[in-house]
Amino acid sequence: MNTEKRIAIYGTLREQMPTPTTELNYRNPFELMVAVILSAQATDISVNKATDKLYPVACTPESILAIGVNGLKSYIRTIGLFNGKAENIIKTCRIVIEEHGGEVPRTRAELEALPGVGRKTANVILNTAFGEPTIAVDTHIFRVSNRTGLAKGKTPLEVEKRLVRMTPDEFKLDAHHWLILHGRYVCKARAPVCGKCSIIKWCEFKKKVIA
């Protein structure tokens, strides 16, 4: 796919969603970090239901540490893999307090050193909380990037690197949100809604369907 088509795709998505953002509920970088850790293999809806109850009670590293692992589990047990996530969040809270003065670190290396924070989570935090032009690749973005031809790759990291390299600078800050929302509501895994897709005329997947 050439640069002209990429500009057309991102430009069209920008017209539809001028100010895209995450669908996770949060008020500060720490709440976002916890929500993103919880969102692994879980829906944003399920995470929001849990954090809407958790955050009024505990929304800082100190207050989450105070309720402990079992206390945290009582709020997030409806989320998949909640046992491991609770353990990781408690460990991360302790590190944030002891090594970062209670503040979420702002570098990739420091973020990825936190339990439960991998490359994708770090990218989301850097982009959404701190305005860095990173592109986190989840299952939706991986699918959309490969289907459309924006950035083909066999692994999320390969797709991420190609997206960062090939996405024009003016679109990099919001590319993550545009692609994830498009994948979540239009370019679905099992039943893509091609008839309602605004970028279908540039999509390579359409050609395969027609063929």
> Is 120 noted as a catalytic residue in this protein?
yes
Neighbours of 199 (CB within 10 A): 22
What secondary structure letter does DSSP report for 27? S
From the list 73, 85, 120, 174, the catalytic residue is 120
- Residue in the block written with tokens 């369907």: 209
Interacting residues of 19 by C-beta distance below 8 A, sequence separation 6+: none
Which is it for the CA torsion 156, 157, 163, 169, positive or negative?
positive
- Residue in the block written with tokens 């850790």: 37
From the list 44, 49, 73, 138, the catalytic residue is 138
**Residue 31: strand, helix, or coil:** helix
Instruction: Point out the residues that are catalytic.
Output: 120, 138
